[in-house]
Amino acid sequence: MSEIPIALLALDAPPRTKPSNYPEPFRSMMAGRVKRPLGDLFGLTNFGVNIVVVPPGAVSALRHSHSRQDEFVFVVSGTLFLQTDHGETEMSSGMCSGFRAGSENAHRLLNRSETEAVYIEIGDRTPGDTVVYPDDDLVAQSRNGSWTFTHKDGTPYL
């Protein structure tokens, strides 16, 4: 196992080796987005922290809500549009938002600007989390530290 750093520049952290866990056709919709898992580098196990770069025209994720995971986002630079069940909110540097587990307020960030945007996302790792994607035929379930994806009727993605 590699040595745990004391400190580092967040944007110098290595990006995820797999750009998205989503099955196709959803994986390719995340093209351009770069996630750097910061919490894992420090050996954190109770919650995850990622710094995410979203280029112009890209999205953070499919619109989703968690059954058991609290989620928090903080915009470091640029402008993003937070899309929720309540509409859209423009978010600029220094703004933040949070989503309580089980709130069913599906959300995602979109970059409609001409420059890249950077945000930090923090989420807990409560076992048994289910993620619902109201706009897509997709459900995710956390099992034994990994995600499984099914269609809404329960059939698995292959």
| pTM for this predicted structure | 0.94
CATH number at residue 92: 2.60.120.10
Domain region containing 112: 22-128
Q: What is the pLDDT of residue 36?
A: 98
Q: Is residue 14 part of a domain?
A: no
Q: What is the pLDDT of residue 2?
A: 72
Q: What is the pLDDT of residue 1?
A: 52
Instruction: Report the C-alpha gap between 19 and 6 in whole angstroms.
Output: 26
**Of 47, 51, 41, whose CA–CA distance to 10 is shortest?**
51
Please state the domain count of the chain.
1
Q: What is the pLDDT of residue 60?
A: 97
**Mean pLDDT in each 10-residue stretch from start to end of the chain (158 residues)?**
89 94 95 96 96 98 97 98 97 98 95 98 94 97 90 94
